[in-house]
């Protein structure tokens, strides 16, 4: 098993962990793929370039939480505007 695969095992307690073997298939029959993770990582990279310009490792989880909040709320209506 490649070393990189084992790092994700630590996340197993947060949510059920599924894997897709990309050397055999793009996604599993259950629909498991890496599109959401890759999208989130690209948003983190874009925030680094466009919003924050640098991240402190000490507060990286805060940056990731903010980016996740922005992703979750990007389609929420602001309500009527006067």
Residue 78 lies in a domain: no
pLDDT in tens, 51-66: 888 888 898 889 889 8
Distance (Å, rounded) from C-alpha 57 to C-alpha 1?
28
Residue 80 lies in a domain: no
Q: Which pair of structure tokens corresponds to residue 1?
A: 């098993």
Task: Tell me if 67 is assigned to some domain.
Answer: yes
Extended strands (E) in the chain:
none
pLDDT for 19-43, tens place per residue? 667 777 777 777 777 677 778 888 8
Could you tell me the two tokens for 33?
């793929």
Residue 1 domain-assigned (yes or no): no
When pLDDT is cut at 50, 70 and 90, the band that residue 72 belongs to is confident
Q: How many domains does the chain fold into?
A: 1
pTM as predicted: 0.55
Question: Does a structural domain hold residue 2?
Answer: no
Cβ atoms of 33 and 20 closer than 8 Å: yes
């Amino acid at each position: 098993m490649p070393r990189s695969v084992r790092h994700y095992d630590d996340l197993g307690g947060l949510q059920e962990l599924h894997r897709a073997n990309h050397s055999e298939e793009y996604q599993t029959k259950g629909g498991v793929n890496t599109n959401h993770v890759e999208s989130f990582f690209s948003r983190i990279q874009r925030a680094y370039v466009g919003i924050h310009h640098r991240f402190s490792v000490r507060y990286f989880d805060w940056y990731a939480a903010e980016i996740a909040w922005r992703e979750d709320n990007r389609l929420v209506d602001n309500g009527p505007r006067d």
